[in-house]
Amino acid sequence: MNRLLPFEWIAATRFLREGAVQTLLIITGVGVGVGVVVFMSALLTGLQASFLQRMFSSQAQIVLRPPDEVARPLRRESDGFVVLATVLKPEQRLRSIDQWQKVRDLTKDIGGIITVSPMASGAGFAVRGEASKSISLMGIEPAQFFKIVDIPGKIVAGTVRLNAGDIVIGTELAQDLGVAVNDKLRVTTATGASQTLTITGIFDLGNRGSNERNTYVALRTAQTMLDLTGGVTSIDVTVKDVYAAEEIAQEITAATGVEADSWIKTNADFFSFIGSQNMSNAAIRIFVSLSVAFGIASVLVVSVVQRSREIGILRAMGASRGQILRVFLLQGAVVGFLGSLFGSALGWGILAVWRSYAKHADGTALFDVTMEPRLLAMAAVLATLTGLAAAILPAMRAARLEPVVAIRG
C-alpha cells in the first residue's frame, strides 16, 4: 500500500508519528483555536439573525414616502432678489404618493426586490365605552403585506380576515380596551371620520409598542377614513439582501423620484452595532489564526532541528530539495486539518452546552443558534491553509540543509 503513496506523504506521516506527543499537543492547540472561532462565529451569526428577525417582524426594509412639504420665501426683484418674509417650516399634512401605482410598478422592476406593498396609514383613536387609545391605523393589501410582516403567524386569537368593516389589533391594545374577537370598536381619525369596525383577530408581534398602537384594516377602508381617495401614504419594500437595502433605496429614489428610507438609514446606531460585531469576529479569527500559525511553525522548526540527520540521509539517497520542502508543508497541512476536525467537534460541543443553559425564564432559547455546514467547511479550509502557511519557513530551512553537514550534525 505504501508503494502507491508518494514519498512526501510517507515521510511526512512517519515524522508526525515519531513525534506523537508534539503532534498531539499542536493538534490540540489548533483544535482549541478552531473551536473558539467556530463557537464565536455561530453565536454572533445567530445573535445578528435574531436581532434582524425581531426588527423586520413589524416593519419593512425600505419605505417609500412622499417628500416633505416646503414653503418658499416671498421675494421681489430690486437690485437682486430680496427675502421679504421669514419662512417657517410648514406642518406636514397627510398626503398620498403622487402616481403611486406607477411608482410601485417601477420599484418592482428594480433588481433585488422581493415584495412591494402599498399602505395608507394615519393616526386615530380607538374607543370602547369610556376607554380610548391612540392608534396607528394601517390600511393594507393583505396578500402583499403579509409577505413583509407575518401577521397570520402572529395571531393569538381569531383570524386575519380584513373585509371592509374589519380590523385586526394587538394584544396590549385589546387588553387596554377590554375587547375580544368579534367585539365592535369605534375608530376615529384626525379628519373627523368615524367608523365602527369588527375585531376579527388579535396579534402579538413580540413588541409592546407595536401591540399597543398598530391596527390593520383593508386598504380601501383606511383610504376612506383618512380622506385619501385612491391614495397611499407609503409603499413598503423587502429585498433579498438586507445589507444592500440602502443601495437599493438610492436606486429607487433615482428611478421614481420618491424618497426611499432603508432600515440602515433609519437605524444607523443598530447598523453600526452590527458592523462592530463583524469587526470583532474578524479580529478574533485573525488573532486565533496567528496563534495557531506560530504554534505550528515552532513545532516544525523543532522537528527540523531534531531530524536534521534524517533529512541529510534522505538528501544523500537522492531526495530533492523540492521533496523535502513538500514533506514539511504536508506536515503543516495535516496538522491544521486534523486540528480543524477536533476544533469543529469542540465548538459544536460548547455550543450544545451553551444552548442548554442560555434560556429565558420560561425555558425557551434566548435566540436560535445553528451550526451551518458552511461554517465547518470554512474552519477546515482556514486551519489547513494556516498550517500550510506556517510550515513554509521551517520547510525552506529543511530544504536548504546540505546532506554532508546535516549528517555530521
* 182-215 residue pLDDT tens: 999 999 988 888 999 999 999 998 788 889 999 9
Q: Residue 74's pLDDT is what? A: 53
* Mean pLDDT, residues 94-112 taken together: 88
State pTM to two decimals. 0.67
Strands 184-189 and 166-170: unpaired
Strands 62-65 and 259-262: antiparallel
Residue 266 one-letter amino acid: T
* Mean pLDDT, residues 231-246 taken together: 90
* Mean pLDDT, residues 87-94 taken together: 52
- Measured in whole angstroms, the distance separating CA 340 from the mean position of its chain's CA atoms is 25
Would you say residue 408 has pLDDT above 70?
Answer: no
Q: Residue 155's pLDDT is what? A: 93
Q: What are 344's three cell numbers?
A: 469543529
**Collapsing DSSP states into helix, strand and coil, what is residue 176?**
helix
* Mean pLDDT, residues 11-17 taken together: 82
Mean pLDDT of the chain: 82
Question: Residues 6 or more apart from 223 whose CB is under 8 A from it?
Answer: 120, 139, 229, 230, 231, 232
Under 8 Å between Cβ of 148 and 117: yes
pLDDT grade for 1, boundaries at 50, 70 and 90: very low
- Angle of helix 392-400 versus helix 373-390 axis, rounded to 10: 30
CA distance 39 to 350: 7
Tens of pLDDT along 351-379? Answer: 888 877 777 666 666 667 777 778 778 88
* Mean pLDDT, residues 294-313 taken together: 77
Would you say residue 165 has pLDDT above 80?
Answer: yes
Would you say residue 79 has pLDDT above 90?
Answer: no
Phi, psi for 109 (deg, rounded to 5): -80, -10
Q: Residue 264's pLDDT is what? A: 86
Residue 24 one-letter amino acid: L
Q: Residue 390's pLDDT is what? A: 83
Looking at 341-345, 371-375, 403-407, which range is the least confident one?
403-407
Q: What are 406's three cell numbers?
A: 546535516
Would you say residue 81 has pLDDT above 60?
Answer: no
pLDDT grade for 220, boundaries at 50, 70 and 90: very high
DSSP assignment of 257-310 equals -SEEEEHHHHTHHHHHHHHHHHHHHHHHHHHHHHHHHHHHHHHHHHHHHHTHHH
Nearest to 164 by CA among 239, 107, 95, 219: 219
Task: Measure the CA dihedral 25/26/28/31, to 10°.
Answer: 180
Residue 186 one-letter amino acid: R
Phi, psi for 285 (deg, rounded to 5): -65, -40
Tens of pLDDT along 17-57? Answer: 887 888 888 888 888 888 888 888 888 878 777 777 777 77
C-alpha distances (whole Å) from 230 to each of 164, 220, 227, 398 are 15, 8, 9, 81
Q: Residue 221's pLDDT is what? A: 93
Would you say residue 216 has pLDDT above 70?
Answer: yes
Per the model's pLDDT, the better-predicted residue between 408 and 386 turns out to be 386
Would you say residue 298 has pLDDT above 90?
Answer: no
